[in-house]
Amino acid sequence: MITKYKPNLSRTSEEKKDKPASGRSYVGLRAAKESKTTVQSANARKDAHLAPKNREAKFEQGKLRVIVLGGLEEVGRNMTLIEYDKEIIIIDMGLQFPEEDMPGIDYIIPNAAYLEDKKDWIKGVVITHGHMDHIGGVPHIIGNIGNPPIFTGKLTAGLVRKRCEEFKRCPKLNVKEIDENSILQLGRNFRVEFLRLNHSIPDTFAVIIHTPIGTVIHTGDFKIDYSPVNDKPADLNRIAQIGGKGILLLMSDSTDSGKPGYQVSESSIGDEIDKIFEKLEGRIIIGTFASQLSRVQKIFDLAEKYNRKIYLQGRSMNDNVEIAHQIGYLKFNPSILINDHDLNRLPDKKVIILGTGAQAESNAFLMRVVNGDHRTISLKPGDTVIFSSSVIPGNERSIQNLKDMIVRQGARIIHYEMMDVHAGGHAKQEDLKLMMRLLKPEFFMPIEANHYMLQAHAELAAQVGISENKIFVADNGQVVELSKSGQTVVGKLTDERVPTDYVMVDGLGVGDVSNIVLRDRRVMSEDGMIVAIATIDSKTGDPIGNPDIISRGFVYMKENKDLIEKTRMKVKKIVKDHDSRTPADDDYIKNKIRNEIGQFLFSQTKRRPMVLPVIIKV
């Protein structure tokens, strides 16, 4: 897949004449090894952008490589590399929550093995916004790649610092705060600007990367919201101006690319919740994402309007509200928050309980309430539980069970399918097409979604006029190359791939749970396990007494005495069946027990439990 692109040749000369707009800051890293941020004058900016003549030929021969380490085959684990001439910038460093067939796994992070011998190439990390699927991998990865500087918005900086406090191995971060007026010079080859966009959390930015062969834009997560809550709407005029200067490659959020129409504005959700609050007399219990700070702000506003107090639940909810309030992104009177004592003292019509758990997470606030494990809250008739979030794919059954338990305990449920109590944070089809029409990229690459969503976004790109052979639907780790050939740019989706296999986090272990371990966990969760303990004479190898059998998750031993006894005698026969003149070989006996007992149990039950043989020599 090779195409030619003729860049806007006048753009370079125009940019040389440009000076920063009033109020814009210019931040540079002067050399490859510098990590300190400095403020430069307009002349310094001009000098940084001008390439000496003896470097032009090198640039023409150089290749811009785009590599996505996570986010092209899943929603989450977002991490993108932009590489040119032995310099790399990283966009996002997120986590992915485990799938149903990953028992015991806390979450998954990107595999950064490609970067570990290129630490001196990395000029900076840009974080688009503060959601865990974009910041969750930072404490695990940043130290392994040389602890490069991190550039991000004010709120995201606070959330990243807070997350890294929980990990002793995370080095002291070098975080630099940016806004929509910041300009960075990272290394020799990357000049980076930012475009404020709307999402379900403030301080969300698209990343504009000026490279020697053209401009690349990475949107991060975004939606078009003309009336956001506690945030500025995206500047569509500036987006169009950027597009008018010529965009080489657009990498755009695909999470809602399969949904027609326009995304609902956050302010309209607030109006809908307002109508609900007006009618309710009992306690209002709201489950949402802790990162939905625009939604949280609206709930605080409505609590003040209806003279209710808020009882916050969930560590992440408390942390996010505290950080956002400290930096001025959440505006409320602290007296509106109450503690355990106030909750029991106030009448129900004066209380809002706001917490996490709308996805039925086992350790979250809502699940603990319905299971009777919460220290202060239990459901009762008159309570209204509002699910102010959409269902993450894969959680449908768990959420349905949670709703059943809530209703059985006498509470009423309101969710987004009944009323507009949730607005997604991602652009739908018409918003995505608007972004492409404004930016008019030559090449297009859908990102941040499962493959079928990427394909749906690619079809939208074709509808707005982008040539199908200039649309790259890649897999994780697949390298996209863009290079100059004379006065044109050649783009292709290569066959080269870098490692992107799962790095699973389980407790304090990072990457120590392999696919083999997961397979064993799945076997135990599906068919259980059986332990065969045989005691043998160390000299003769003869069995001493009868073997012990332990069953866990396979059969209930008291109700299957005949099967257990047959298994016991078969193990004894296997141990006894050897040449008594030579000591028994432990590994040989264990393998024989494992194979023959496994086959025997399958013939009896049509199940394949994990067989664990234990040999004790005396």
Query: Considering 447, 478, 500, which residue would you say is the last residue of a domain?
Result: 500
- Establish whether 253 is a catalytic residue: yes
CATH code of the domain in which 536 resides: 3.10.20.580
pLDDT band at 598 (very low <50, low <70, confident <90, very high): confident
> Is the pLDDT confidence value at 276 over 90?
no
pLDDT digits (tens, 9 = 90+) for 129-182: 999 999 999 999 999 999 999 999 999 999 999 999 888 889 999 999 999 999
Query: Considering 375, 397, 415, which residue would you say is the last residue of a domain?
Result: 415
Which is the catalytic residue, given 225, 253, 506, 527?
Answer: 253
> Is the pLDDT confidence value at 494 over 50?
yes
- Tell me if 505 is assigned to some domain: no
> Residue 208 in contact with residue 251, Cβ under 8 Å?
no
- Tell me if 508 is assigned to some domain: no
Compute the CA torsion angle 132, 136, 142, 143 (nearest 10 deg): 150
pLDDT computed for residue 502 by the predictor: 86
Q: Which residues are 190's β-sheet partners?
A: 186
Q: Structural domain tally of the chain?
A: 3
- Tell me if 281 is assigned to some domain: yes
Cβ burial, residue 118 (10 Å; 0-12/13-18/19+): middle
294 compared with 13, residue with greater pLDDT: 294
> Is the pLDDT confidence value at 25 over 50?
no
**3-class secondary-structure state, position 523:** helix
pTM tops 0.85: no
pLDDT digits (tens, 9 = 90+) for 319-339: 899 999 998 888 899 999 998
> How many percent of the chain have pLDDT more than 90?
40
Q: Which residues are 80's β-sheet partners?
A: 68, 91
Q: Domain check: are 288 and 144 in the same one?
A: no
> Is the pLDDT confidence value at 247 over 90?
yes
Which is the catalytic residue, given 129, 199, 426, 457?
Answer: 426
Q: Domain check: are 193 and 272 in the same one?
A: no
Q: Domain check: are 229 and 288 in the same one?
A: no
pLDDT computed for residue 64 by the predictor: 95
- What is the residue whose two structure tokens read 């001025």? 328
Q: Domain check: are 290 and 393 in the same one?
A: yes
Q: Which two tokens stand for residue 412?
A: 């009423």
Q: Domain check: are 253 and 289 in the same one?
A: no
Query: Considering 473, 500, 527, which residue would you say is the last residue of a domain?
Result: 500
Q: Domain check: are 128 and 18 in the same one?
A: yes
CATH code of the domain in which 460 resides: 3.60.15.10
- Tell me if 184 is assigned to some domain: yes
pLDDT computed for residue 441 by the predictor: 96
Q: Domain check: are 141 and 232 in the same one?
A: yes
pLDDT digits (tens, 9 = 90+) for 48-105: 333 333 333 333 358 999 999 999 998 889 999 999 999 999 999 999 887 666 656 7
The pLDDT mean for the chain works out to 81
pLDDT band at 27 (very low <50, low <70, confident <90, very high): very low
Going from the C-alpha of 14 to that of each of 18, 299, 487, the distances in angstroms are: 6, 47, 17
CATH code of the domain in which 393 resides: 3.40.50.10710
Q: Domain check: are 396 and 528 in the same one?
A: no
Q: From 435, 403, 379, select the one nearest 256 (Cα to Cα).
A: 435
> Which domain covers residue 375, as residue numbers?
266-415
Sequence-distant contacts of 76-83: CB under 8 A, at least 24 apart: 76/108, 76/133, 77/108, 77/109, 77/110, 77/133, 77/137, 78/133, 78/134, 78/447, 78/448, 79/110, 79/112, 79/137, 80/218, 80/251, 80/447, 81/114, 81/115, 82/190, 82/209, 82/211, 82/216, 83/121
Q: Domain check: are 256 and 274 in the same one?
A: no
First to last CA, the chain: 69
Q: Domain check: are 433 and 293 in the same one?
A: no
Q: From 175, 109, 107, 172, select the one nearest 143 (Cα to Cα).
A: 172
Q: Domain check: are 310 and 387 in the same one?
A: yes
The rounded Cα 415 to chain-centroid distance in angstroms is 24
455 compared with 275, residue with greater pLDDT: 455
- Tell me if 187 is assigned to some domain: yes
pLDDT digits (tens, 9 = 90+) for 401-437: 888 888 888 888 887 654 445 457 889 999 999 999 9
Q: Domain check: are 484 and 574 in the same one?
A: no
Q: Which of 152-166, 188-202, 350-364, 372-386 has the lowest mean pLDDT?
A: 350-364
